[in-house]
Amino acid sequence: MTTFDPCWLGSKRLPEVTIHASGALAQTIRAEFRQTPRLRTELEVALCTIGRLDETPLAGLIRQVLPTDGLGDEGFVVMRQGNNLVVAAEAGRGLLYGYFYLLRYFEWMDGDFTVVERPAIPVRMLDHWDNLTPHPVMGSVERGYSGGSIFFRDGRVVEDLTRVRAYARLLASIGINAVAVNNVNVHAAETRLLTDHLPDVARLAGVFREYGIALHLSVNFASPIELGGVDTADPLDERVARWWSSAVKRVYDAVPDLGGFVVKADSENRPGPHTYGRDHSDGANMLARALAPYGGTVFWRCFVYDCHQDWRDRSTDRARAAYDHFIPLDGRFDDNVVLQIKHGPLDFQVREAVSPLLGELQETTFALELQVTQEYTGQQKDLCYLGPWWREILHFDTTGADGPTVAERTKAIVAVSNIGDDPNWTGHKLAQSNLYAYGRLAWDPSADPVSLLHEWAAATFAMDDRTRSELVAIMADSWRTYERYTALLGVGFMVTPGTHYGPNVNGYEYSAWGTYHFADRYGVGVDRTVATGSGFTGQYPEPLAGRYENVYTCPDELLLFFHHVPYDHVLQNGRTVLQHIYDTHFQGYEEVEAMLTRWKSIADRFDPTTRENITPRLEAQLANAREWRDQVNTYFYRLSGIPDAHGRTIYR
């Protein structure tokens, strides 16, 4: 029998449970329960749909707490009174989530209580950047740091879907209800392969269906000459629309409940003159109309910018691009188009401003896009728990004046997955926490990231409370530690080009992809003000725009994202910019050193496989932090000639 790392589902037990429900997802729950170890207790536990509530002893009490507008397809109630505990839901998906809630918290379910749960965000999705074709590597994953694809080998869907089923189970347990299985940077040839192997796609969809997860496909329509012999990619050309209508029908004949398509708008792949018609709304709407009869959705990824910039031209600003492209189109997209917007205007940096599109789109449905795979945040070599960063983004006030948060405005949340065929799924064992936190925050953006770490650790490892607290202490602030020894005050892209790992201060500074720090002998930072810079601050509403425009009210952590300042500019924290650069890089290294020491003090309490996975990675992280510290500090010392105020070693 094939086995996999059970992650946070490995140590759970339940008492006997009576299930009053029918249907495919009820069968999934029964199968789940059969493989869950039993726990002896006097508690009587029942799961039921609302239509069969009278078969449980708490029917009357549960009806009293049901929301007036219902639980919806995914909500559930958990109630305990005395020795009776009932989980109730309107539909199978809600009951499945209720079952996993029971599994997650049962050992803490003491005394009488009532919980009513409904997800805050309707669509909670993971995008996989798995390559179907043998280019560049068979079964490879773009920006994947955990081995190869669990879905594809040799240009086809894998024969044995056992691991895919185990993965679907993990996703359902944290509330994920949608998944795109192939790379958004898809080639037209791969789109054709998918449509040529629809029975295999149907097998994948069938496994995810067992866990209430809708399958989506990434497609490319920029090269239809490869797809169907049409000599144009113009979505306004009827031949293109007919080809896609026919292709969509074939897909839905094979997978009737397909969620829809994910499309990358442009950026690295510069569109041709007729790729999107007059603008992006033409291309998105053409696909949306092909999908509409089947209930499908187009997730149109708004990662757009000129990838052939001249670094000499300081008026060019990649950060402006998504807003400039899509705000003029607000309201011109069909109802089944979702604009998928990166959390920041650049590219998943360890710190950047929240994208103004997330607050300024008024008439178009949009999704917040995050990145669970650690492309710019340590690549699952360095420990970097991202839950605190995501919560900041979800709770960002989009007006700056007690207006709606990002979480309140978005109808979907999407993230790039961090899993692969590594034995523990994520390469770094502790990186499993990011997948867990993403799912839990997507369901409930108000969840506390540190509490989620405790949840994850307690479910993942057999250890005492003191050891768990030590592990959580190591992990909880690791994102800020990573920020301290890498980026500074909102500057990004000081990474090795291509791999995006390790320091290279000028790696992208003179590239066609943009310019990101403009450091010289006098100062550092990008002037994005309206008064003297690219005008990016003007894309935010007031009072946010004014707060970012003013060098003295701009938050310290974003100062160099919005302003070019001299090295002796004094931050709100009382330090000069240059001294802050020195201090944080020394501090970040010391924090990694302390993390490693703390881990070694508890490592022998973990199993050998876990120790052998984590210890060398933390040791390598310390070496990486040293390189970042010394290269960044030396770079700015050589430019400025200003020594560290504390006399610490900076290499010349």
CATH no. for residue 361? 3.20.20.80
Give pLDDT < 50 ranges for the chain: 1, 137-138, 225
The reply to whether 138 and 103 lie within a common domain is no
The reply to whether 156 and 112 lie within a common domain is no
CA-wise closest residue to 459 among 11, 100, 5, 2: 11
Looking at residue 596, its amino acid is L
The reply to whether 97 and 191 lie within a common domain is no
The reply to whether 363 and 304 lie within a common domain is yes
Secondary element (H or E) of residue 591: helix 577-602
| Separation CA 296–CA 281 (nearest Å) | 17
Q: Would you please indicate which residues are annotated as catalytic (active-site) residues?
A: 268, 347, 375
The reply to whether 372 and 497 lie within a common domain is no
The reply to whether 139 and 209 lie within a common domain is yes
Range of the domain at 221: 123-447
**DSSP state letters, 524-590:** E-----TTTS--GGGGSPTTHHHHHHSTTTS-GGGHHHH--EETTPBPTTSSBHHHHHHHHHHHHHH
In a domain, 651, yes or no: no
- Please list the residues that pair with 644 across neighbouring strands: none
The reply to whether 99 and 127 lie within a common domain is no
Which of 425, 447, 469 finishes a domain? 447
- Domains of the chain: total: 3
In a domain, 478, yes or no: no
The reply to whether 386 and 525 lie within a common domain is no
In a domain, 470, yes or no: no
| Separation CA 407–CA 313 (nearest Å) | 36
Which of 390, 423, 447 finishes a domain? 447
What are the C-alpha distances in Å from 136 to residues 139, 154, 182, 647?
9, 12, 14, 48
| Separation CA 534–CA 519 (nearest Å) | 17
How buried is residue 268: exposed, middle or buried, by Cβ count under 10 Å (0-12/13-18/19+)? exposed
- Structure confidence at residue 12 (pLDDT): 86
Residue with tokens 């802050």: 580
In a domain, 564, yes or no: yes
Task: Report the SS3 class of residue 216.
Answer: strand
Residue 40's Cβ-side half-sphere holds a number of Cα atoms within 13 Å equal to 0
Chain mean pLDDT for the chain:
94
- Structure confidence at residue 305 (pLDDT): 81
- Give alpha helix (H) positions in 444-525: 449-460, 465-476, 478-485
The reply to whether 437 and 531 lie within a common domain is no
Q: Which long-range contacts (CB under 8 A, 24 or more apart) does 56-60 make?
A: 56/20, 56/84, 56/86, 56/88, 57/84, 57/86, 58/84, 58/86
Residue 544's Cβ-side half-sphere holds a number of Cα atoms within 13 Å equal to 21
- Structure confidence at residue 2 (pLDDT): 54
CA-wise closest residue to 275 among 248, 304, 311, 299: 304
Residues 63/103, Cβ–Cβ less than 8 Å: no
In a domain, 303, yes or no: yes
The reply to whether 437 and 499 lie within a common domain is no
The reply to whether 210 and 228 lie within a common domain is yes
Assign residue 51 the CATH number of its domain.
Answer: 3.30.379.10
Question: Global pTM?
Answer: 0.97
The reply to whether 189 and 160 lie within a common domain is yes
- Structure confidence at residue 423 (pLDDT): 95
Assign residue 497 the CATH number of its domain.
Answer: 3.90.1330.10
In a domain, 468, yes or no: no
Express as a percent the part of the chain with pLDDT over 70. 95
In a domain, 74, yes or no: yes
In a domain, 554, yes or no: yes
| Separation CA 500–CA 506 (nearest Å) | 12
Buried b (16+ CB within 10 A) or exposed e, 203-241: bbbebbbbbbbbbbbbbbbbbbeebbebeebbbebeebb
